[in-house]
Amino acid sequence: MPSRSSSYGSASLGDQYLPATGNGGYTVEHYDLDLDYRVATNRLAATAVITARATMRLERFSLDFAGLTVEKVTVDGERPRKTTHTSRKLTVTLDTAVEDGDEFEVTVRYRGAPRPIRGRWGELGWEELTDGVLVASQPNGAASWFPCNDHPSDKATYRISLACESPYTVLANGELASRTARSGRTTWVFDTVEPMATYLATIQIGRYTSRELGTQPVVHTAYFPPDLARVVAVDFERLGDMLALFCDLFGPYPFSSFSVVVTADELEIPLEAQGLAVFGRNHIDGAHGSDRLIAHELAHQWFGNSLTITCWQDIWLHEGFACYSEWLWAEKSGGPTIAASVAEHHRVVDALPQDLVVGDPGPAAMFDDRIYKRGALAVHAVRVQLGDRRFFEALREFVATHRHAGISTTGFVGFFAGCDGDGVIEQLVDRWVFSAPLPPL
């Protein structure tokens, strides 16, 4: 018989950047979230049904969950022996163990006033706007609004139902399955059939109007306050061309549609979610001043949302490709050539301290701009080594192979090294990603 401790799922997935986030002993297959929200008072009453599969014999397991009150927990319809809810973890001890490989269903009923999780990266998760809600959880804010295994290595499908006051428009990931109005409240139901990391799950609530921007290569739609209609129409008119370019270079768009949300509030930075990108009203000007940002967030649908890193140490893979996509779009749209963008940003990075290892920046520097720029320069170095034809053929194959799955630096290097065969790719990535000094062009 295994020891008792061997049946306890760990309260961490061992990510050195977020050691207290994520949970071992199981993987989540599906989240079904039923949310009832009052915008005026920021009150949430919700039920989460989590379908999971044990990866070991489980007598105890945990979920990431913060800031809300747990009312009831059941596992496969039965009350567990014990539940404990601390500031960041909901721990469940079972009467009957779940055997390795078995599927089980956890139902959590909860309520409260959701608020962001505060940490070294600022406020993450559920955030009240002046008149509405924004959810942006990277890297570990999902636990602010639903119990979860909050780590990018554990992707699942979702059903998200949210009821709120009828004057508001609600957006979430996936496709709108239904919208039902009754007694001054509307229930919106969204289904996400492609596996999604928890930090990419989102809710957006606002007094928005919508405009379909195009239907090719997929439907793309903007949601925005009515007073911003003119500038939104101008600033996002090239979105279809961006989609076409990235589909040509990276392969088919990985989801069924793409939406952009422009909030009535100003935001510090644009925000990514699966199938969505969120901008503040300060990010649009009616003069294409944010084309770079739009291209960056769109590229994340491939690099970050479909292809998702399995540990945060490898975040350069998300941000390097998204930043490089800005330069690809600039060249395509008549702006600086790739060579000019590479030279300019190399000069910028060269003037900064040479004390950051892009492939292992440490948690405090996860979002340092040097990761974005040096990551993009590393991508370009691989492109130059392989040549355009081999590079983009390999890139499309890499994207297709890992569609809706996890990626790592090791896997990236191994894949592209197989296209070269002489060890140069490993040396390039080592110089650009794992060495602090900036290599010369």
Q: How far is it, in rounded angstroms, from Cα 187 to Cα 180? A: 5
Q: How far is it, in rounded angstroms, from Cα 348 to Cα 187? A: 49
26 as an active site residue: the answer is no
Q: Of residues 372, 393, 397, 426, which has the active-site annotation?
A: 372
Angle, helices 316-332/369-386, rounded to nearest 10 degrees: 70
Q: Is 300 annotated as a binding residue?
A: yes
> Could you tell me if 326 and 345 are in contact, meaning their C-beta atoms sit under 8 angstroms apart?
no
- Cβ partners under 8 Å of residue 286, min gap 6: 230, 231, 234, 235
Nearest to 215 by CA among 239, 196, 191: 239
Q: Which DSSP symbol is given to 378?
A: H
Q: What is the CA radius of gyration of the chain?
A: 22
Q: How far is it, in rounded angstroms, from Cα 73 to Cα 82? A: 9
Strands of the sheet containing 175-182, edge to edge, are 69-75, 103-112, 43-54, 26-38, 156-165, 185-196, 175-182
Q: Is 296 annotated as a binding residue?
A: yes
> Could you tell me if 380 and 435 are in contact, meaning their C-beta atoms sit under 8 angstroms apart?
no
Cα angle 188, 47, 74; round to 5: 150
297 as an active site residue: the answer is yes
> Could you tell me if 276 and 259 are in contact, meaning their C-beta atoms sit under 8 angstroms apart?
yes
CB atoms within 10 A of CB 401: 12
> Could you tell me if 375 and 429 are in contact, meaning their C-beta atoms sit under 8 angstroms apart?
no
Q: Of residues 297, 324, 326, 426, which has the active-site annotation?
A: 297
> Could you tell me if 370 and 376 are in contact, meaning their C-beta atoms sit under 8 angstroms apart?
no
Q: How far is it, in rounded angstroms, from Cα 115 to Cα 135? A: 10
Which residues does the annotation place in the binding site? 296, 300, 319
Which residues does the annotation place in the binding site for Zn(2+)? 296, 300, 319
The catalytic residue positions are 297, 372
